[in-house]
A and B are shown apart, each in its own frame.
Chain A
Amino acid sequence: MGRYLLKRLWHTVYVVVGISMISFFFIHLSGDPVMLMLPPDATMAEVETLREQLGFNDPIYVQYWRFASRAVQGDLGSSLYFRVPAVNLILERLPASLELAGAAMLIALAISIPLGIISAVKRGSLWDLSSMLGALFGLSMPHFWLGIMLILLFSVTLGWLPTSGRGSLAQLVMPSLALGLSLMAMFARLTRSVMLEVLSQDYVRTARAKGLKERLVIGKHALKNALIPLVTVAGMQFGFLIGGTVIIETVFAWPGVGRLVVQAIFSRDYPLVQATVLVLAVLFVLVNLLTDLIYLYLDPQISYLEEK
């Protein structure tokens, strides 16, 4: 098990290095930001001077090496727009992103897993049909639209919840709901189908043949097996959620990383884009590592197979 984890950790390093290279080269393909940094009437000579100063004339691998060797020391460059270290900007926004993603995920899982289990157990029942129809509805609803509807209902009409901002629990409710609903729908469908598959396995029949109560058969023998694929998908989705909530952040004026990076892209604040991509990649990989840890607990065979 120790070896398995060590191996995973190594993989993580490879992946992060790989992502940093790829993103670095792609961002470079889009050109350098020198033109944007200078006033429109700047001369060609001035442009060239600045290019030279910022190192844009060096071969790209030299530029990457410069970036990478600073990055390992925690220096991801400074934002051209805000004129402060990119890391500071990101770290300022990160808690908000993690909070929103975490809350959305929590709501989604807490509701969808029981929902999916009941649907699988009572397959074909009215409950099953209506919750799966509801899930389809939830999946097809765009986030922003749902967000706006929530604001109209809970803020404008009922006046229960604040429309935007971050700080209180009340402010977290609507954005996490708007974000979590489609996840909830997806997980409910996934749980149902995985559970149906697991329930038809021989070991579930064995558990029943032992005289176990249905609660144990489903809640223990079936569920632990069903959680294995669910955890994979949940881990993935959580990774996406951290940086990919721009729309919801915009609708609810939520100060997250998603909005920061979009802003950076539009202003061609290329060190900031580069830094954010890297931080998000690291986070994504860490979440995956965490997923693997949960896996180890769920499926004892994994560490065994990996070590062979």
Chain B
Amino acid sequence: MLSIRHLKTYFRTPRGIARAVDGVSLQMGPGEIMGVVGESGCGKSVMALSVLGLLASPPALFAGGEIRFKGRDLLTLAPEELRRLRGDQISMIFQEPMSALNPVFTVGNQLSEVFRVHRGLDRSAARQGAVEMLAKVGVPAPERRVGEYPYQLSGGMRQRVMIAMALACRPALLLADEPTTALDVSIQAQILELMLGLKEELGTAILLITHDLGVVAEITRRVAVMYTGKIMEEAATEELFDHPLHPYTRGLMASIPRADASFETDALNEIRGVVPSAVDLPPGCHFEPRCPEAVAACRTHPPELEELRPGHRVACWRANRG
């Protein structure tokens, strides 16, 4: 259903070309839940925004690759066609529920827009749809809430509204960009549960972007680990947690506190150093400067993704040998 191939999304910046997404490939089937994890700045959001065509160009430039959705290449699709897909076939929810809703329009107004633009409903029918969606995402007293403004809602409620907006047209694909990061821990679980429930009901595939491996372990079927615009490792969730092959993945796992640590941890408890700048990446493996297992080859030759175990791809010279 969604197939990203060798996607390269760069930015022109005063300091040079920033390679935010640099040759990412991903496949997702209908109704699948896939996780994308990685530290801040590794290009997760840029990848998702590329799918929806929401990056202003310039400064963004699409240096190559394709994004196929139901057979059509989104990168070459006419803007008007892509607009029709957005919010209808493909939706997105964002990290910050505080700023993602427009402060000067009511929740009902913003929610019914989706029905009006994609379903051509009139004002009252769209409003009715908005009330129903709010009820569906567990907003109490939806009849009253539709008339309220975002500032009158808590963070969790706003994120529910965002989810209602994203799922209003029963999209085939939901891009969830850190949907729970900004919320209280107690609310996080509720929101994830809500998304899972709706996914079952509507058959929506979810690309869940997060830097929380705990969340990934809980709800995704497959995971891709990203670092500096590249996928370092990709496998079924259980497989990845049982046999993490990339030192970066192992570093990430070691740095989350988990009671049931079922995976082997290295001497590496935390990843040393900082993420290199996207305008100035190392010539070999991007992780090499921080990697405790790096050898000479890592410094000069970038490793390619290779399938080392069934359905388990990894880009690492050391893992190849191991």
Contacts and interface: CB of A to CB of B under 8 A. Distances in A.
Interface of A: 201-203, 205-213, 216, 220-221, 224-225, 228, 298-301, 304
A202 B94 contact: yes
B62 interface: no
B87 A221 contact: no
A211 B54 contact: no
B69 interface: no
B55 to A, nearest CB: 10
Given A209-B52, A209-B92, A299 B114 contact: no
Given A202-B94, A205-B54, A210 B102 contact: no
16 contacts: A205-B54, A205-B94, A206-B100, A206-B102, A207-B113, A209-B94, A210-B113, A210-B114, A211-B114, A211-B117, A212-B87, A212-B117, A213-B83, A213-B117, A224-B105, A228-B104
A206 to B, nearest CB: 5
A202 B100 contact: yes
Interface string B87-117: 1100110101001111111100000011001
A300 B88 contact: no
B104 A224 contact: yes
A213 B116 CA distance: 11
Contacts of B152: 304
A18 to B, nearest CB: 33
Interface of B: 52, 54, 83-88, 91-92, 94, 96, 99-106, 113-114, 117-118, 149, 151-152, 162, 165
Nearest to B79: A214
Given A206-B94, A206-B165, A211-B117, 7 more contacts: A203-B101, A205-B100, A206-B101, A209-B52, A216-B113, A228-B104, A304-B152
Given A225-B102, A298-B104, A210 B117 contact: yes
A292 to B, nearest CB: 16
The 6 closest A-B pairs by CB, nearest first: A211-B87, A211-B86, A210-B87, A202-B99, A203-B102, A300-B149
Contact of A209 (B91, B96, B99, B151): B91
A299 B92 contact: no
Contacts of A216: 113, 117
Contact of A210 (B86, B96, B149): B86
Contact of A211 (B94, B103, B118): B118
Contact of A202 (B86, B96, B113, B149): B96
A148 B152 CA distance: 54
A57 B213 CA distance: 85
A301 B87 contact: no
B200 to A, nearest CB: 23
A215 B117 CA distance: 12
B32 to A, nearest CB: 21
A207 B92 CA distance: 11
Contacts of A202: 94, 96, 99-100
A225 B99 CA distance: 13
Contacts of B106: 300
A203 B88 contact: no
Nearest to A212: B117
Given A206-B100, A225-B104, A301 B86 contact: no
Contacts of B114: 210-211
Nearest to B84: A211
Contacts of A225: 102-104
Nearest to A301: B151
Contacts of A206: 94, 100-102, 162, 165
Contact of B149 (A201, A211, A221, A301): A301
A304 B152 CA distance: 9
A189 to B, nearest CB: 22
Nearest to B165: A210
A296 B54 CA distance: 32
A221 B100 CA distance: 12
- Indicate the member of B83, B84, B91, B101 with the most A CB atoms within 10 Å: B83
A228 B149 CA distance: 16
A297 to B, nearest CB: 9
A255 B151 CA distance: 49
Nearest to A207: B102
Contacts of B83: 211-213
A205 B104 CA distance: 15
B103 A301 contact: yes
Contacts of B52: 209
Nearest to A221: B102
Given A210-B114, A304-B151, A203 B99 contact: yes
A299 B86 contact: no
Nearest to B99: A202
B213 to A, nearest CB: 26
Contacts of B94: 202, 205-206, 209
B69 to A, nearest CB: 14
Q: Which of B88, B102, B151, B165 has the most CB of A within 10 A?
A: B102
Contacts of A212: 83, 87, 113, 117
B103 A203 contact: yes
A201 B96 CA distance: 11
Contacts of B84: 211
